[in-house]
A and B are shown apart, each in its own frame.
Chain A
Amino acid sequence: MSEPGGETVGNGRTPVQVKAGRHREATLYHALAGAGAGDGRSLAELRTAARIAFESLDLPVWRRSGFWSTSLQDLDLDALDADSPHDGVPEVVTRTLPDRPRAGRIVQSAGAVVALELDPQLAEEGVILCSLEDAFREHEELVSRWYSKRLTLDRHKLEAANAAFWTGGCFLYVPQGLVIEDPFEIVYAIARPGVAQYGRTLVVGAPTSEFRVHEYDLAEDFDAAEEGVRQALHAGAFELYLQDGARCRLAQVQDWGSGEVYDVSTRLVAVGRDAHCHWLPALVGGHLVRQHLELAVTEAGGDMAFRGLFFAEAHEHLDVFAVDLQETGPSGGDVHWRGAATGESRASFEGLIQIDPGAQKTHTYLQIHSMMLSPKARIDAIPSVLVSADDVSASHGGTVGELDETGIFYMQSRGLDRAAAVRVIVEGFFEPIVHELQDEPLQEVVRRKVAAKLAAAREDIEAYATSR
């Protein structure tokens, strides 16, 4: 592995003046960083505003000077149906989710919630888990206080579509002081092409609550040769608010399968005073995936660990923008992502550390490691730093690697065949992230996904290795 090294801005002891924008030349995206659309307007008013924005906007194309663009222009939005029928819980959900103790589970297929369960004991203690539609009916005051608090509705056409047209959705509320060991599972599934799924999740952790959330984004493998519509869309919006002293471990497994599924989503986590979030997305499949993932520490004493892995194959296109936003100090952040690519896939990971004015005594670190498993695969890893305070430390680093032929020979000399040796290397590469899930059933799900990706790309990887 080559070590391109890192760059350090400030060290916390020696104040360094860093000009805003200095490290932002090549980057594409901006943090939401602040107030969202939910400013006292009713849901109906917000939907109307979003619909107006939707109608005036074109499908988005994001271009970074010269070498990267993410375009939704191939998406035939008119051919997709937001009200397409569902047949209960899709098979992919039962096949993928582990059989394990859980606090609750909500499953949305296409545009509707098709399964809902909540531990009755927890319901009695004040936990709310229901569709967001029901939440607006039954807990309107509570939901309105948080809904779209930091999410916007008009940055691009698909964000507007979500805000205007979402159906079903998920609302989870964990009351003050409640500590829950087993996870809440939130599932968005697409069973067939032709679906436009506008998923909308709102999670609120009241002060000093502690809980786990596991989100699964899954689709059946569509047959590409099928007649008619081949595409599907998930345009998601997710927001999680942790109040004073709340703690949440949030994990997400996203695998949209081999069909032509587009996923353009925005996910935001806001960490309040002395609160903590450990957030770990595992992005392992989708025709075109664009994720805006923003973890904001909004009040003093907040802390977070932002981990993630991605694995792109075949012709998949993955575009991740991960933000470590520090709004006040003293606070902390720690971002560590790992990604691999095979086939002719493209992955761009843009990691931004943004430290706002006044966020003094903030310490944060971002690292991104990537591994190329085919000569035609490409990963662009772009760390960037935007610092507007002068007594902070913010640094980043990373590596770019290929399969190590010496390592493969070493393992072969111990009796492992080539495919097994490659698997050991790639799984070992991801293991520091997988390990941090700290949940055995979920770790197994992610390991199986990584293994399946590798098996699918086996010939490709072998051809590459022997060609060198």
Chain B
Amino acid sequence: MADLEIRDLHVRTEDREILRGVDLDINRGEIHALMGPNGSGKSTLANTLLGHPSYEITAGSIEFKGEDITEAEPHERAKAGLFLAFQYPVSIPGVSVANFLRMAINAKREQPIQVKEFRQQLQHAIELLDVDRSFTSRPLNDGFSGGEKKRAEILQMAMLAPDVAILDETDSGLDIDALRTVAEGVQRLHDEQGLGALIITHYQRILHYVKPEFVHILMDGRIVLEGGVELVERLEREGYDQIRQEVGATAGATGDDGV
């Protein structure tokens, strides 16, 4: 049994069905890539896994570490060891990065973390993510550049040490230096802490720095193709259109409202 098991997941928003039967297994220590064109349902899957209230699960289930979390509150999923790095991180004015991290860490614990231990962890994460010390005293994401926001996401991930992290287009909008830092951070958390990751991306760029063992391609709300890292290379050569034609012919997918 996998750590994160997604079975026949159907999800809709107010106006339409977006996921139409997704199956996915992710374990600690595994790096997965989920790729797909715009509008295929990637972000919907990410948000649904953490329990965003705007997405309604109409069928299927999500199990995490043997528990059914299909209906769980977002904070319960987080406490269980899931993490979502947001595509568009939200600014939290008035709360410093360090204070927010302390709150998030303490939310997971019985006893508040000792100051010394917290400082050590923070120092380690700062070095990992190559950010300035002053970064942690700034209000979270407030006035941050795009690259700073994504670094702050990975910094939080490093501190919260989840079992499985979903990275929702963490690579988009990053220059190559920031991309490399972020990607190497993910790779090291995988190597050092046994992080399991689902890297959601529209592009292939980030996958030059983080090597996924499993690649899934999402189209029109279904996973239409799965394989190893060779799938990334094929996608680079052929593009989504070619793959769509192929799977459309074999699987009979209509792709009526897809992009």
Given contacts A405-B53, A420-B103, A424-B100, contact A413 B93 (CB under 8 A): no
The docked-state distance in angstroms from the alpha carbon of A296 to that of B91 is 37
Interface string of B88-103 (1 = CB under 8 A from A): 0111111100001001
Chain A nearest CB: distance from B55 CB in Å? 11
Residues of chain A lying within 8 A (CB to CB) of residue B86: 410, 413
**A428 sits at the interface (CB 8 A):** yes
Interface string of A417-439 (1 = CB under 8 A from B): 11010001101111110000000
Most buried by B among A414, A427, A432: A414
Whether A417 contacts B73 by the Cβ 8 Å rule is yes
**A49 sits at the interface (CB 8 A):** no
Whether A428 contacts B139 by the Cβ 8 Å rule is yes
The docked-state distance in angstroms from the alpha carbon of A409 to that of B77 is 12
Whether B73 contacts A414 by the Cβ 8 Å rule is no
The docked-state distance in angstroms from the alpha carbon of A416 to that of B84 is 14
Given contacts A417-B107, A420-B107, contact A412 B93 (CB under 8 A): no
Given contacts A405-B53, A420-B107, contact A429 B93 (CB under 8 A): yes
**B160 sits at the interface (CB 8 A):** yes
The docked-state distance in angstroms from the alpha carbon of A409 to that of B55 is 12
The docked-state distance in angstroms from the alpha carbon of A412 to that of B78 is 7
Residue A413 contacts which of B83, B92, B94, B100 (CB distance < 8 angstroms)?
B83
**A415 sits at the interface (CB 8 A):** yes
Number of residues of chain A lying within 8 A (CB) of chain B: 24
Q: Which of A369-415 contact B (CB under 8 A)?
A: 404-407, 409-415
The docked-state distance in angstroms from the alpha carbon of A412 to that of B47 is 12
**B104 sits at the interface (CB 8 A):** yes
B142's nearest neighbour on chain A, judged by CB, is A428
Whether B92 contacts A414 by the Cβ 8 Å rule is no
Chain B nearest CB: distance from A291 CB in Å? 25
B99's nearest neighbour on chain A, judged by CB, is A424
Whether B90 contacts A404 by the Cβ 8 Å rule is yes
Whether A412 contacts B139 by the Cβ 8 Å rule is no
Chain B nearest CB: distance from A358 CB in Å? 39
The docked-state distance in angstroms from the alpha carbon of A420 to that of B92 is 13
Whether A428 contacts B90 by the Cβ 8 Å rule is no
B49's nearest neighbour on chain A, judged by CB, is A413
Given contacts A410-B86, A424-B100, contact A431 B74 (CB under 8 A): no
Given contacts A420-B103, A420-B107, A424-B103, contact A412 B75 (CB under 8 A): yes
Number of A-B residue pairs at CB separation under 8 A: 78
The docked-state distance in angstroms from the alpha carbon of A417 to that of B77 is 11
Residues of chain B lying within 8 A (CB to CB) of residue A405: 53
Whether B94 contacts A430 by the Cβ 8 Å rule is yes
Chain B nearest CB: distance from A166 CB in Å? 39
Given contacts A412-B73, A412-B75, A416-B107, contact A424 B160 (CB under 8 A): no
Whether B74 contacts A413 by the Cβ 8 Å rule is yes
Chain A nearest CB: distance from B15 CB in Å? 17
Given contacts A412-B78, A414-B78, A416-B103, contact A428 B93 (CB under 8 A): yes
B156's nearest neighbour on chain A, judged by CB, is A414
**B50 sits at the interface (CB 8 A):** yes
Chain A nearest CB: distance from B13 CB in Å? 14
**B52 sits at the interface (CB 8 A):** yes
Residues of chain B lying within 8 A (CB to CB) of residue A407: 90-92
B141's nearest neighbour on chain A, judged by CB, is A410
Q: What interface size band does chain B fall in?
A: 20 to 34
**B79 sits at the interface (CB 8 A):** yes
Residues of chain A lying within 8 A (CB to CB) of residue B139: 428
The docked-state distance in angstroms from the alpha carbon of A418 to that of B222 is 32
The docked-state distance in angstroms from the alpha carbon of A259 to that of B240 is 67
Whether A415 contacts B104 by the Cβ 8 Å rule is yes
Interface string of B57-72 (1 = CB under 8 A from A): 0000000000000000
The docked-state distance in angstroms from the alpha carbon of A126 to that of B73 is 62
Most buried by A among B103, B108, B156: B103
Whether B94 contacts A415 by the Cβ 8 Å rule is no
Chain A nearest CB: distance from B160 CB in Å? 7
B84's nearest neighbour on chain A, judged by CB, is A413
Given contacts A410-B86, A414-B78, contact A428 B156 (CB under 8 A): no
A405's nearest neighbour on chain B, judged by CB, is B53
The docked-state distance in angstroms from the alpha carbon of A411 to that of B79 is 12
Residues of chain A lying within 8 A (CB to CB) of residue B108: 415
A407's nearest neighbour on chain B, judged by CB, is B90
Residues of chain A lying within 8 A (CB to CB) of residue B94: 427-432
Most buried by A among B75, B91, B160: B75
Chain A nearest CB: distance from B161 CB in Å? 12
Whether B93 contacts A431 by the Cβ 8 Å rule is yes
Residue B78 contacts which of A413, A425, A428, A432 (CB distance < 8 angstroms)?
A413
Chain A nearest CB: distance from B8 CB in Å? 24
Whether B53 contacts A415 by the Cβ 8 Å rule is no
Most buried by B among A416, A420, A431: A416
The docked-state distance in angstroms from the alpha carbon of A416 to that of B77 is 11
The docked-state distance in angstroms from the alpha carbon of A428 to that of B75 is 20
The docked-state distance in angstroms from the alpha carbon of A424 to that of B103 is 10
Residues of chain B lying within 8 A (CB to CB) of residue A418: 73, 75
Q: Which of A31-58 contact B (CB under 8 A)?
A: none
Chain A nearest CB: distance from B169 CB in Å? 15
The docked-state distance in angstroms from the alpha carbon of A431 to that of B93 is 8
Chain A nearest CB: distance from B23 CB in Å? 23
The docked-state distance in angstroms from the alpha carbon of A361 to that of B77 is 58
B80's nearest neighbour on chain A, judged by CB, is A415
Q: Which of B215-234 contact A (CB under 8 A)?
A: none
Chain B nearest CB: distance from A190 CB in Å? 32
Whether A415 contacts B160 by the Cβ 8 Å rule is yes
Residues of chain B lying within 8 A (CB to CB) of residue A417: 73, 75, 107
Residues of chain A lying within 8 A (CB to CB) of residue B90: 404, 406-407, 410
Whether B160 contacts A414 by the Cβ 8 Å rule is yes
The docked-state distance in angstroms from the alpha carbon of A405 to that of B51 is 13
Closest 10 CB pairs of A and B: A428-B94, A431-B94, A412-B74, A415-B107, A415-B78, A410-B90, A414-B104, A412-B75, A407-B90, A413-B50
A-B contact pairs, 6 of them (CB 8 A): A412-B74, A414-B156, A416-B75, A428-B93, A430-B94, A431-B95
- Name 14 extra pairs, CB < 8 A, besides A412-B75, A428-B92: A405-B53, A407-B90, A407-B92, A409-B53, A410-B86, A413-B74, A413-B77, A415-B75, A415-B108, A415-B160, A418-B75, A428-B94, A430-B94, A431-B95
Which A residues form the contact surface with B (CB < 8 A)?
404-407, 409-418, 420, 424-425, 427-432, 466
